[in-house]
Copies of this chain bind each other. A is one copy, B any other.
Amino acid sequence: MTSEHSSSTSEHRLRRLRERLGGIAYGGDYNPEQWPREVWDEDVRLMKEAGVNLVTLAVFSWSWLDEIMDLLHANGIGVDLATPDAVPPAWLIARYPDILPVLADGSTFGFGSRQHFDVSHPAYREKSLAMAERMGERYASHPALCMWHVNNEYGPVSYGPHADRAFRAWLQEKYGDLENLNQAWSTDVWGQRYSDWSQVNAPAQPRTWSNPSRRLDYHRFTSDSMLAHFKEERDILRRHTPDLPIVTNFMRFYKNNDYWAWAAEEDAAALDIYPDPREEDAHVAAALNFDLMRSLRQGQPWLVMEQATAAVSQWSVNVSKLPGKMRLGSYQAIAQGADSILFFQWRQAKGGTERFHSGMVNHAGPNTRVFREVCELGRELKGLAGITGTRSGAKVAMVFDWDCWWSLELGNSPRSDLNYPQEVLRLYRPFFDANIPLDFVDTSADLSQYSLVVLPATYLLTDQAAQNIEDYVAGGGRLVASYLSGIVDQDNTIRLGGYPGALRNVLGAWSEEMHPLAGEGEAVKLNTADGGTASADYWTEHLHTITADVLASYSSGRLAGGPAVTRNTFGSGTATYLSARVDGTYLAELLAAERTAAGIHPELDSPLGVQARRRTGNGRSYLLVLNHNDAPARVDVGQGGVDLLTGAAVNGSVELAANGVLVLQEPSTANTSSETGL
């Protein structure tokens, strides 16, 4: 989590950025190279109309830069300058065709899309860094330059010879002796023992299924190898511009890269957020990702780097956001800690793959609902400058961990449809619904500051992580762990002696067998300790208590009579185990009881679908209230404050319109539950 580029320096850079932009960053990707020169002037005029103060340039190209940067600067618009190495150009691919990534089946991607590089290719590495060097040289002192945007949505995996070589080097660095690798990968199973390093390579398509420990290491390697490239570029740019933030853009629920490791190397977490409007609860999954971004750098404000004004083009059916939803989603990001609202992209492309991805200015031009909403939001955000730099606090921590994600979904397990984000989302939702802010943490985090810690399907736990959790509970913490936690060690090897091996002690319970429920809708009944009933589906276990008490037990099915949910007193704390996927109502009750016992209360009592978050710092406190419902909702904001969107004082019971938003600056006496930021 630590790095030579420490968080305090990042905060310095971000504060400078805020000061320069005068508040919330507003704008988006800008690709003037797609348009004739005369359009640029109209662009800048419309940007000013829309309140744009920052655009991202050069993500996919970088000729023409001098002129446009001058033009933007002359109009008071800052530039987030990208290095274009997400798209190695045609001439480079023609010279080094093996830069193109190789699939597991040995076939090669062709030129003509994007992210078509094997990051381990020496010429790709050399040329992309040389380009960063030249951009740094040329633009370091350009007055428009505000920030650097390295590459774009890092992600491509390759199985070609360059990846083989780099993976081998990564493994040698990790394991030292080949025997250690043989042990870690259980190569004695299926006779896969390696006798020489030269035999080790990327896990190409297997005849049936390939070694799960090897594949876990390949996930780790691909994340690390791309991060190494990022760091090399960052160091070059840092040398030229020590005071500017350097970031790359993350994606929603993105499996390939371990964003904990990545965020530690950046000045801010930056997210591309494209919820699918067809999903009724898309805002809940968005909230999870927003809290994850906020948490990746321990509460530091983060950046919305891309979102869409209306429709995107990657879904099977691309529904446009309903009027008001883009604004609502923007305020949701701000409420959860974002200091920017940037779009992909300024002007909707008229050609190319993403020609139907909406922009701030769409095909039809500025006389449209979308551009009017863009301008209105730009106007509103100008009044919210004070919120930048403020932070939120939380007393609940939930683990989100890429090692767990990777190892849980490797297949050949009790069920092949295991989905880590879904498991996290299932435990996240009750907290969201109840307006309980939470921080995500990795398994090595200092947990002592939290009153409640939740482990959703935290499948892989190292010895240290297990000890960390055990120490937390022993020291008086409250733990809630769900099934499929603590099953394997760092090598993806099963911890023996009864599941969940790493948590058996702290949970005071063990399972002798996993019992996934097969059928669609197959469920079993539960009796709860307080005389109620509940149900479980998808997952059950043949659980035994050691020292734990039973909170719920099966009343039907093959496990009838046995425990399903237990709570153990361990040291000064308690540890609750959900060994079954219990129904949502009971889950919410259980978690409510836990947080009440931990002394944690909602940010605001509100009807379902009304989200409230508080940001504080610099002596100020802001309460944002968001109505995600398509109908009006009434909430009691208590003493309230001044609604920065209207200037009106608001208190007591107030009605929010459908998709309505309140941004209340609270009186300085407000009892803030959060740490004070910068």
Contacts and interface: CB of A to CB of B under 8 A. Distances in A.
Nearest to A199: B90
A156 B207 contact: yes
A343 to B, nearest CB: 16
A317 B516 contact: yes
A354 B322 CA distance: 48
A648 interface: no
A497 B367 CA distance: 9
Interface string A532-573: 000000000010000000000000001000000000000000
Interface residues of A, number: 113
A498 B189 contact: no
B492 A413 contact: no
Contact of A351 (B186, B196, B367): B186
A181 to B, nearest CB: 11
Contact of A189 (B34, B104, B204): B34
A33 B186 CA distance: 10
A355 B407 CA distance: 13
B205 A320 contact: no
A353 B210 contact: yes
A521 interface: no
Given A193-B61, A193-B90, A412-B356, A364 B499 contact: yes
A203 interface: yes
B416 A316 contact: yes
Contacts of A512: 362, 364, 367-370
Nearest to A355: B494
Interface string A491-535: 111101111010000000011111111110000000000000000
A606 interface: no
A101 interface: yes
A209 B370 contact: no
A244 interface: no
A529 to B, nearest CB: 25
B317 A414 contact: yes
Nearest to A62: B191
Contacts of A317: 414-417, 516-518
**How many copies, total?**
3
Contacts of A311: 414, 513-514
A162 interface: no
A205 to B, nearest CB: 6
B313 A414 contact: yes
Contact of A205 (B31, B110, B316, B358): B110
Contact of A90 (B84, B115, B192, B323): B192
A491 to B, nearest CB: 7
B417 A364 contact: no
Interface stretch (A211-219, A282-290, A468-476): A211-219
Contact of A188 (B33, B278, B414): B33
Contacts of A356: 412-414, 514
B516 A199 contact: no
A355 B412 contact: yes
Interface string A180-205: 00000110111111111011110111
A46 to B, nearest CB: 14
Interface of A: 31, 33-34, 60-61, 84, 86-87, 89-91, 93-94, 101, 103-116, 156, 185-186, 188-196, 198-201, 203-214, 278, 310-311, 313-320, 322-323, 349-356, 358, 362-365, 367-370, 412-417, 491-494, 496-499, 501, 510-519, 542, 558
24 contacts: A31-B189, A34-B186, A87-B190, A90-B196, A106-B108, A109-B205, A109-B207, A110-B206, A111-B199, A112-B204, A156-B207, A189-B351, A189-B354, A211-B352, A212-B355, A311-B513, A313-B412, A316-B415, A317-B517, A320-B514, A351-B494, A358-B513, A364-B510, A370-B513
Enumerate the 6 nearest inter-chain pairs by beta-carbon distance, A residue then B residue, closest first.
Answer: A186-B351, A189-B352, A110-B204, A113-B206, A87-B191, A60-B191
Given A91-B195, A317-B517, 12 more contacts: A31-B189, A89-B193, A89-B195, A90-B194, A112-B206, A189-B354, A210-B353, A278-B518, A315-B416, A317-B417, A318-B414, A320-B514
